[in-house]
Amino acid sequence: MKTFINNLIEYNFHTNNKMIDSLLTNEDKLSEKTIDLMSHTLRAHEIWLNRLNSTDVVLKVWERIEIDRFVDLNNTLFNQTIEIIKSKDFNSITSYKNSKGERFDNTVLDILFHVINHSNYHRGQINTELKKSGIEPILTDYIFYKR
């Protein structure tokens, strides 16, 4: 299972990089919503890593990140996620509070899968925004990554 999740995290990282490269290349054509969606995708990943590491850092899930920070943040998130995969038992329970202060418990595996699924969802929204802006959408399907 760790190998498969590791592959999915590598796919997530690679696909984020492709998306970020397109955003940087077409920065002058981007809608505000596009930047907000990519910021949210990265920020949510960061928040989940903080929860997995029991780190109390107050981050806002819709906080805008400057586009020139996307690459570095994506690299950092990837490296931190790989460390979690190496060091954590996927069946162990992580307790955390959501943005409303409600307490929840989930397995490490559930959280890692959520990060991947959440990122895919928002990359689809970003692709819709790119198309509206006259920019070629990015191929984000996992199978294309694996070919």
Q: Which pLDDT belongs to residue 46?
A: 97
- From CA 119, how far away is CA 34, in angstroms rounded? 14
Domains and CATH numbers, the chain: 2-146 (1.20.120.450)
Of the given ranges (87-96, 97-106, 114-123), which has the lowest mean pLDDT?
A: 97-106
- In this predicted structure, the answer to whether residue 134 has a pLDDT above a threshold of 80 is yes
Q: Please enumerate in sequence order all residues whose Cβ is within 8 A of that of 3, keeping only pairs 6 or more positions apart, or say none.
A: none
User: What does the DSSP assignment read for 87-115?
Assistant: HS-TTSEEEEE-TTS-EEEEEHHHHHHHH
Residue 59 pLDDT class (50, 70, 90 cuts) = confident
Q: What are phi and psi of 84, to 5 degrees?
A: -65, -45
Tell me 9's DSSP state: H
Q: Which pLDDT belongs to residue 9?
A: 98
Q: Residues 74, 17: contact at Cβ < 8 Å?
A: yes
- In this predicted structure, the answer to whether residue 57 has a pLDDT above a threshold of 80 is no
Q: What angle do CA 15, 136, 32 make, to 5 degrees?
A: 80
Q: Which pLDDT belongs to residue 14?
A: 98
- From CA 38, how far away is CA 130, in angstroms rounded? 12
- From CA 108, how far away is CA 66, in angstroms rounded? 29
Average of per-residue pLDDT values in the chain? 96
Q: Residues 74, 42: contact at Cβ < 8 Å?
A: yes
Q: Which pLDDT belongs to residue 99?
A: 85
- From CA 17, how far away is CA 54, in angstroms rounded? 27
Residue 88 pLDDT class (50, 70, 90 cuts) = very high
Q: Which pLDDT belongs to residue 56?
A: 79
User: What percentage of the chain has pLDDT greater than the value 90?
Assistant: 92
